[in-house]
Amino acid sequence: MSNVQKIGLFGGSFDPIHLGHVEIAQMTIKEIPLDILVVMPAGKAPHKNGAFFSDELRLKMTQAAMADLNDDRIVVSDWEMKQAQVNGKTSFTVDTMRYLQKKYPGAELYLILGTDMFNTLSTWKDPEIIAANMKLVLVNRRGEKLYKPRRKKDIRIYTPDIVISAEPLAVSSTEIRRRLSAGESVDGLVPESALQVLKNASFDVNLTK
Ligand code: ATP
């Protein structure tokens, strides 16, 4: 058996975390013999215009949802949020990768992505560097189409190292934000523990964004 540590990175806005995210974490830890799965809510996501929920709420909801899985290999990190809060830095995965390389020297890094994120990889900062240094793990739900690279240089980044197949689960943070804003129920979409965080904060949502 190799002594090389296997570290997974599952990032996202988690604005808010939902059962689709929880399932990804669960499946990943089941399918890949990771030593640690780092779940990292983005501070300032490059593809998005500010979050709906505060950093504090996104972090607390993510922590609550992950604690439900009761697996001490799963660690929620506020590193990207701190970077954004202290330096105003956008959360680029390549920077988080370098942080993990320093924190876990010599470790094998795995980047966990849902299909929608995977399909945008070529628009990220330094995707070739990411693909050269991390194993790309695609969680593909039945029916989700993969982007077919046209440029030769994109072929590596659009070739996942590991594919985890999953059943469709029609849930997104966008739909949850819509429902919450409309006063509709989000039961069965958001873990109960994360909803409790919201309730405790009296729905401390930022409605200006
Ligand atoms: P939004 O609706 O705000 O764009 P989202 O629901 O897509 O948010 P993110 O936080 O942007 O959630 O996604 C984090 C990661 O989870 C991404 O890799 C994304 O592909 C994946 N993901 C999100 N929802 C699902 C889902 N229902 N099934 C599979 N993967 C998902």
Range of the domain at 118: 6-200
Candidates 14, 17, 117: which one to mutate for ligand 1, based on the most atoms within 8 Å of Cβ?
Answer: 117
Candidates 55, 172, 206: which one to mutate for ligand 1, based on the most atoms within 8 Å of Cβ?
Answer: 172
Q: Give the number of domains in the chain.
A: 1
55 within some domain: yes
- Inter-residue contact 138 to 113 (CB < 8 Å): yes
Per-position pLDDT tens, the chain of length 209: 568 999 999 999 999 999 999 999 999 999 999 999 999 999 877 777 778 999 999 999 999 999 999 999 999 999 999 999 888 888 899 999 999 999 999 999 999 999 999 999 999 999 999 999 999 999 999 999 999 888 888 888 999 999 999 998 989 999 999 998 888 889 899 999 999 998 888 764 433 33
CA distances from 189 to 2, 100, 175, 178, 184 (A): 39, 31, 10, 13, 12
1 within some domain: no
12 within some domain: yes
| pLDDT value for 171 | 94
Predicted TM-score (pTM) above 0.85: yes
CATH number of the domain within which 114 lies:
3.40.50.620
| pLDDT value for 23 | 96
206 within some domain: no
| pLDDT value for 136 | 98
Dist. CA 180–CA 89, nearest whole Å: 29
| pLDDT value for 209 | 34
| pLDDT value for 207 | 36
